[in-house]
Structure 1
Amino acid sequence: MFIFRSMRVEMDEKCSQAPSEFARRGGRQAPSGIGHNAVKQTRIQSIKAYIVASRTVTLEQICEKFQISKSTLRRDLEEIIADGDIRKSYGVLTAQPAAQQRPFEERYVANAAAKRRIAERAAQLVSDNDIIFIDSGSTTMYMPDYLQDRSNITIITNNLEVIRRAYPFRNIMVITISGILNRDLDSFAGASAVSVLAGYNINRAFMATAGIARDFSITNSFVAETDLKKMAMARSQRRVLLADAAKFGVLSLCTYCRMEEIDTLVTDRDPPAEYLIRLREAGKELVVCPPAPHPGT
């Protein structure tokens, strides 16, 4: 069953129009099973991540790295550069600056109003006595602000800003995860952090992302956090992804899960049609929290 909660009743109309709209844009439905197309999409995802990590690579380097022929790579190139975050010029592929992650301070202020709405709506999913994991992110960090009226909440987190925001509230117990402090991320990560998290049972994990790729991969930009995110997903009974609309169609360095692995997506605007279709087919919950209408509109 597909559940859609929004201040606007548009879902039925959008879903009925979505396949034709998607087709007119020249898009391709992501594969639902294992086969040739699934292998191709996985290869393209890996190649794009390699380019983002390396920033600039030659076609020959890609062929050697992934053990593919030049003809295979030529067939893949259209999809590799389709999003505009990677450009090709004279046999060289270059990741554009937008494909690189920004420091936490810069992400803190970008689209802040939408991120606060998303965090507030996600906090409504928390029940009394819940044990929750709050991921490191510029949207998830706002969640403690909206948990003041809940009883006996336990937050497990690796993010300094989450800890700071939860500190004044006596109703919240905070469990911090050990590890190495990354000042660009305002968070702790590393093998010890993963080991500590593995010992906890979690009711809900509230996850962040740097981008939701066209093949429905949930991605992040920092390798050090990837294993921690995977562990949080594995230890949680339910998984909630917080992502503003700017994250759709964005590929970042590492994939930590697929969209089918989350239970609820909370965002500020209706996702593109292909994402709506995928969520509906997987029976996932979509929560949209648009800005309040201006008075008189």
Structure 2
Amino acid sequence: MARPSGRDSRIKALKKLCEGGAIVHIADAAQQLETSEITIRRDLGDGDNGIVCLGGYIMSAEEKGERYSLTHAQSTNIMAKRRIAQEAAKLIEPEDTVFIDAGSTLQHLAPLVPRNANITVVTQAMNIAESIVRLEGVTLLMIAGIYHAESGSFSSETALRMLREINITKGFFSAAGIHENEGVTCFHFHEVAVKKAAIARSQRRFLVSDPTKWGKLRPATFAHLSDFEAWIGRDELTIQRADRL
């Protein structure tokens, strides 16, 4: 029986480092395996090993290949998303102009916006807008453009121009991944410009996402954790564990 090659041993070790969806910087992996970054890149070059190197980070190929579907996301973790939305809703006050980002968690925030309180909601998301138009005494400002069905959101240069003219008092932002080094990320590059513009126009900014997003690295970075006043949902994992006791 042939002995395993050095390459096979390294790939096995790399897979172990990436267990549980972990994402490892290639420099850290090289140090732990006592080899060079070039060797690791060469080992992973054919892409047939179950792990890949993307942007200097090593992750499972399944993690890289994951795709976001709003329809699917709307049917998962519903109770947790409702709890997170309820916490976020406590921050909305009369006279506020709020930005509500696209996503399946923030769609639970939209119906909780106080009615008849002279509140304006700004959004690029179809599912958010559909909820807001049903609320009495709430003004909807829809950021329009090209519709992207996978995220249920719009993007365009016109949307960016609109955002530059709006004074947002509070912005609530979703994320698909939160990474210690790479920051706050999403799946789609078309989302980035609108998110960044809304962050820039928001006086107060809140990240609304559960802890399962931590350690996830998605293709497009749009912010860093330091850009936000608070991360609403950070303690949700503790709540979920308590629910199971």
Give the TM-score category using the shorter length: 0.7 to 0.9
**Shift in alpha-carbon separation, 1:235–1:73, aligned structure 2, 3 A:** farther
Corresponding residue of 2:113? 147
* Corresponding pairs, count: 203
Name segments (4+ residues, structure 1) moved above 2 Å.
70-77, 93-101, 268-271, 290-294
Corresponding residue of 1:136? 102
1:75 deviation in Å? 7.4
Bigger relative contact order (CA 8 A; separation at least 6): 1
Residue 87 of structure 1: which of 51, 54, 78 is its match?
A: 51
| Contact 2:68-2:187 at 8 Å conserved across structures | no
- Equivalent AA in structure 1 for residue 62 of structure 2: P
Residue 214 of structure 1: which of 169, 177, 180 is its match?
A: 180
1:185 deviation in Å? 1.3
Residue 124 of structure 1: which of 90, 95, 98 is its match?
A: 90
Distance 1:205 1:76 in 2: 40
Corresponding residue of 1:108? 74
Corresponding residue of 1:267? 233
Q: Does 1:96 align with 2:61?
A: yes
1:269 deviation in Å? 2.8
Q: Give the TM-score normalised by structure 1.
A: 0.61
Residue 254 of structure 1: which of 220, 227, 231 is its match?
A: 220
1:97 deviation in Å? 3.4
1:190 deviation in Å? 2.6
Distance 2:219 2:125 in 1: 20
Deviations 1:266-288 (A, max 9, x none): 015367xxxxxxxxxxxxxxxx8
Deviations 1:201-245 (A, max 9, x none): 100110000010132600011000101100010000010000112
Q: Computing the radius of gyration over CA atoms, which structure comes out larger, 1 or 2? A: 2
1:189 deviation in Å? 1.0
1:76 deviation in Å? 8.6
Distance 1:154 1:204 in 2: 11
Distance 1:154 1:101 in 2: 32
| Contact 2:99-2:123 at 8 Å conserved across structures | yes
Distance 2:61 2:233 in 1: 25
| Contact 1:190-1:225 at 8 Å conserved across structures | no
CA-atom RMSD in angstroms? 3.1
Report the 3-state secondary structure (helix = DSSP H, G, I; strand = E; otherwise coil) of the residue aligned with 1:137. Answer: coil
Report the 3-state secondary structure (helix = DSSP H, G, I; strand = E; otherwise coil) of the residue aligned with 1:109. Answer: coil
1:171 deviation in Å? 2.2
- Equivalent AA in structure 2 for residue 101 of structure 1: R
Residue 210 of structure 2: which of 222, 241, 244 is its match?
A: 244
Q: Give the TM-score normalised by structure 2.
A: 0.73
Distance 2:41 2:183 in 1: 18
Distance 1:98 1:171 in 2: 43
1:98 deviation in Å? 3.6
1:101 deviation in Å? 2.8
Distance 2:215 2:180 in 1: 5
1:71 deviation in Å? 4.3
Corresponding residue of 1:200? 166
Q: Does 1:160 align with 2:122?
A: no
